[in-house]
């Protein structure tokens, strides 16, 4: 069985390092839920967590869209609508026909079934 790649999208930036780390941890918790259900999470938050404010964001935002295009599905964390990066990821997922799951469904029987059916 080939495990499906599921991209985790949600806010990354914050007002300070604590808020950024909180956003990264939320994405990692979702990644663990996905892994426990048999998917392979793709968590860009964790890849760049210590670079916040050190390098221009645009190359990394572009790169995350490239990562997204290689995934089978995407989970949108709460608050994604207020994030420029997550909004772009959502629209790209829609454009290329990825399966999208919004966070409120996570933890439900429907979410487990969603992951199993990928």
Label residue 107 by pLDDT band (50, 70, 90): low
Write down the pLDDT at residue 111: 73
Q: What is the pTM of this model?
A: 0.88
CATH topology of domain 5-117: Rossmann fold (3.40.50)
CA distance 114 to 101: 8
Write down the pLDDT at residue 29: 94
Domain regions of the chain by residue span: 5-117
pLDDT tens, position by position, 62-104: 889 999 999 999 999 999 999 999 999 999 999 999 989 987 6
Looking at per-residue confidence, does 8 or 57 come out higher? Answer: 8
List, as one string, the DSSP characters of 50-107: GGTTTS-SHHHHHHHHHHHTT-SEEEEPTTGGG-HHHHHHHHHHHHHT-EEEEGGGTT
């Amino acid at each position: 069985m080939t495990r499906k790649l599921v991209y985790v999208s949600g806010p990354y930036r914050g007002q300070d390092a604590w808020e950024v780390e909180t956003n990264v941890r939320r994405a990692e918790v979702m990644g663990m839920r996905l892994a426990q259900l048999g998917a392979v999470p793709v968590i860009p938050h964790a890849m760049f967590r210590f670079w916040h404010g050190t390098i221009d964001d645009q190359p990394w935002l572009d790169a995350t869209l490239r990562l997204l295009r290689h995934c089978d599905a995407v989970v949108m964390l709460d608050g994604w609508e207020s994030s420029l990066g997550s909004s772009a990821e959502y629209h790209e997922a829609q454009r290329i026909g990825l399966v999208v799951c919004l966070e409120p469904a996570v933890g439900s029987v429907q979410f487990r079934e969603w992951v199993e059916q990928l």
